[in-house]
Amino acid sequence: MRVPVIAGNWKMNKNIVESVSLVKELRDFVRGIEGVDIVVCPPFTSLWVVKEIINGTNIHLGAQNMFWETKGAFTGETSPPMLKDVGCEYVILGHSERRQYFKETSEEVARKTEVALSVNLMPIVCVGENLEEKESGKTESIIEQEIKALFPKIDSTLAARIIIAYEPIWAIGTGRSSSSQDANLIIKFIRELFSSKYGSKIAERIRILYGGSVDTKNIDEFMNESDIDGALVGGASLNTLSFSQIVKAAKIL
């Protein structure tokens, strides 16, 4: 049984005061909930204060990006050990906004994924097609390229720890989510790709999330699908009531 994950990607939102008030409220709303891994990914400037508040609770900390080097002259970057130091257990990698605005390539995402796994950070690797690719029937080939780029860097002993988020770019922040059936088909396709490389036993352990306009109204549909193991939530994670309702809808116990 795969434990579902609900991860909130706050993106470039919330200053320190706002982060504190959001996560304090969330902590109270999700207190005692088990059977789902709850993750918040605030901006870098809020990681420390958020960690102070969620210490010892059922909420885990994630970052939104990192570099692959450990230390050195890389102005503006944050290293994997720095994320561990501040208390992160998860890190989002290869979000479409990073691929689009910062030109991150699938090879770079693979390098980051390898390093994240090596320091025991759980990578949430994002993949997904844009509208033009969807409309020209290229969804599967785009996903295949993004997933297969990870393989040379991922050892079979660590592969089961990867979390994938299928986030169709046209569904992000648009209020127009994928249908749960379509998302499930793509997520099954992703699992088959892992299965052909690492075997079905490992593939069955990998958690694959859906992301893109997830809200309190559609979360049940996604969670009812056979292969969807949770959600990466953007906008709705900035509101504690909606985020905690999404968490509650996802728990398996």
Instruction: Give the active site residues.
Output: 95, 167
What six digits make up the tokens of 161? 């720890």
DSSP characters over 81-121: HHHHHTT--EEEES-HHHHHHS---HHHHHHHHHHHHHTT-
Residue 161 contacts residue 200 (beta carbons within 8 Å)? no
Residue 92 contacts residue 44 (beta carbons within 8 Å)? no
Chosen residue from 54, 211, 219, 230 binding ligand 13P by CB under 6 A: 211
146 touching ligand 13P, by CB under 6 A: no
Size of the site for ligand 13P (CB under 6 A): 14
Chosen residue from 23, 59, 214, 250 binding ligand 13P by CB under 6 A: 214
- Minimal distance in Å, beta carbon 90 to ligand 13P? 12
228 touching ligand 13P, by CB under 6 A: no
94 touching ligand 13P, by CB under 6 A: no
159 touching ligand 13P, by CB under 6 A: no
The amino acid sitting at 117 is L
Residue 154 contacts residue 121 (beta carbons within 8 Å)? no
232 touching ligand 13P, by CB under 6 A: yes
- Nearer of residues 125 and 172 to ligand 13P, judged by Cβ: 172
35 touching ligand 13P, by CB under 6 A: no
- Minimal distance in Å, beta carbon 195 to ligand 13P? 25
Burial 25-47 (b: 16+ CB within 10 A, else e): ebbeebeebeebbbbbbbbeebb
Backbone φ and ψ of 150, nearest 5°: -75, -30
For ligand 13P, the binding residues (CB under 6 A) are 9, 95, 167, 172-173, 211-214, 232-236
